[in-house]
Structure 1
Amino acid sequence: MAKIRDGFMGERAVVLPIPIIEDFRKTDLGSLLYITDIGFYPKASFHFRKRKKEEASQYILIYVIEGEGWFELENQRQKVSASQVFVLPKEKAHSYGSDLNNPWTIYWCHFDGGKAAFFAEGLQKPLLIPAEKDSRIEYQFKLFEEIFSTLKNGFNKENLEFSITAFFYFLGSLKYLGTFRAGTSVNEEEQQLDMVDNAIHYMRENVRKRITLKQVADYVGFSTSHFSAKFQEKTGYSPLNYHIHLKIQEACHYLDFSDMKINQISMLVGFDDPFYFTRLFGKTMGSSPSDYRKKEKG
């Protein structure tokens, strides 16, 4: 039986496909800032990464929620603990890891772009985010979770642009911590899901099944032609292609956090033919499932 790797129970991660990243980097917004990987590691025992200069191709943000850890940059080691955040610069050799006795729980993100260095400046040393009255720490966590969940819902144009706009705000809340804390809390009234959001919710709930266009259209209460046109207009994808992207994203999760075989993962996300799944995965992610699994993340 396939098992989740020991010490990483509850991990969550989204890795954006290389073709999606390359296209987004060409846009006005993406040229300024873009995310390549993002995730959450709870009590990450034995978490360790070491990269040479040529392997450090993005900035890496780590926000320590609980526990302790360390990072090493330019031959200087820094200890970090709960309520501290730091950013490792790109193109510099580094290493980092979780404390063996008190492993850290972290939010993490790999990012780059024309404004990345601006936000990373000053964060090569741990920044303390003290828990005080009106500290708005929980709001920062919710903001990060919203960025994560938006990308987990797919890589359409609106999701990419919204997540990066929110990421600008998240990074700004760290760079200008005092100003952020002086601001008033944001009204977080829930908004009613529109047709497309409802459809994406249905697709996510059925990501392990094969569904038809009519089933999704019936769920949201519109004709297939009207629904398909509106969905394509908002997301840039046909409904079924969008569902395929969600399936591939689910497959990435199992490749990252389990030792299941590729044919098992293929069946789990609704593809009877593992060869077709492998071709589709490669077309979407820019690498085969086995090569993707070998890539270090976090």
Structure 2
Amino acid sequence: MSTPSNWPLPTAGIRFLTPAFMVEKLARHPLTKDCYPTAMGFYPQAEGHQMQRERHDDNLLMYCTAGRARMTAGDWQGDIAPGKVVLLPQGLAHDYRADPADPWSVFWVHFQGASTRVFLQYLGYRDGNPLASAGVSPRLIGAFQSLMEVRRTGYSSRAFINASNQLRHLLTQISLEISAQQGSTQGGLPLEQVQAYMLENIDGSVSLDELAAVANMSKYHFSTRYRQLTGYSPIKHFLHMKMEQACQLLDASELGVGEIARELGYEDPLYFSRLFSKTIGSSPRGYRASQRK
């Protein structure tokens, strides 16, 4: 395991290493062997913080919430600013140091596991580019803080199993924040604004022209960018939103299928049922029955 820095820890700082016996358990356990934390912490206003590793045995994720730092990772060099996520895979030589005038505050977690390369790729890591932008997100800060509560459990195996799965959730949450940040950057797609428009019109229909106008983009550019950020075309994603709402109404109301179809802007219940079955994998009545067993 790569040793964390020996930066002098203040009262508000956190540095916690998973003990070797627990790492061995996590590496074998079927619920944790794909991804588990080996060390974690938080360094606030980390004046004088620096680290250099020629040999890096873990994967390392760092999240800057304030201040700045300078980093070299392989052939990449750059500055780390608030809201930036640093992804350093196993084996990548690196060094970093806090800015002397404005030292960073940084959450960090070392992790191992059979699927960690997949997680790094999902977060957008590419060779030569260890940096991503997630913004300074209260949700991510809360997720890091929750993960670090494992240090108060007396090395409980169940607590570390939970922490390993919290780590998986943290990684996927970071991916969501990165995607939202990409959409909101200058010249990008205002994803939240477009999806709010979709929800406002969930009882009707929207066209690609309308959605592109909300985004203030050409249809082609809008459609391409939307698919890059969400994995779906805009109209297909709107359909999925409708079917999510249909599932909620089937589960939580006594409305008939025809009434639910009209609530979502479909005058033909048979057409609605075909769309629902194709999207969800069962008929509306079959879905309701399965939820109420």
- TM bucket by the smaller chain? 0.5 to 0.7
Give the count of matched residue pairs: 173
Aligned to 1:114: 114
- Decide whether the 8 Å contact of 1:151 with 1:163 is kept in 2: no
Unaligned runs of 5+ in 2: 1-6, 182-190, 196-293
Change (3 A) 1:7 1:158: closer
The amino acid of 2:31's aligned partner reads L
What is the 5 A alignment of 1:21-170?
21-53=23-55, 56-121=56-121, 122-123=124-125, 124-130=129-135, 137-170=137-170
Between the aligned partners of 2:157 and 2:31, the Cα distance in structure 1 is 11
Change (3 A) 1:158 1:106: same
Tell whether 2:16 aligns with 1:14.
yes
Superimposed CA distance per residue, residues 28-85 of structure 1 (whole angstroms, 9 cap, x where no aligned partner): 12210111100000000111110113xx100111100100012211132121101111
Change (3 A) 1:6 1:94: closer
Between the aligned partners of 1:20 and 1:125, the Cα distance in structure 2 is 29
- TM-superposed CA distance for 1:157, in Å, is 2.0
- TM-superposed CA distance for 1:7, in Å, is 7.6
Unaligned runs of 5+ in 1: 132-136, 184-298
Corresponding residue SS for 2:159: helix
The amino acid of 1:126's aligned partner reads L
Larger Rg: 2
The amino acid of 2:170's aligned partner reads F
- Decide whether the 8 Å contact of 1:14 with 1:152 is kept in 2: no
Between the aligned partners of 1:66 and 1:11, the Cα distance in structure 2 is 14
- TM-superposed CA distance for 1:127, in Å, is 1.5
TM-score by length of 1: 0.54
Q: Which has the higher contact order (CA 8 A, sep 6+)?
A: 1
> What is the alpha-carbon root mean square deviation over aligned residues?
2.5
Between the aligned partners of 1:150 and 1:179, the Cα distance in structure 2 is 29
The amino acid of 1:51's aligned partner reads R
Superimposed CA distance per residue, residues 79-115 of structure 1 (whole angstroms, 9 cap, x where no aligned partner): 1101111111111211112111110000001001111
Which 4+ stretches in 1 moved above 6 angstroms? 179-183
Change (3 A) 1:164 1:125: same
- TM-superposed CA distance for 1:176, in Å, is 3.2
Identity rate of aligned residues, in percent?
19
Aligned to 2:186: none
The amino acid of 1:108's aligned partner reads W
TM-score by length of 2: 0.54
The amino acid of 2:43's aligned partner reads Y
- TM-superposed CA distance for 1:147, in Å, is 0.9
Corresponding residue SS for 2:114: coil
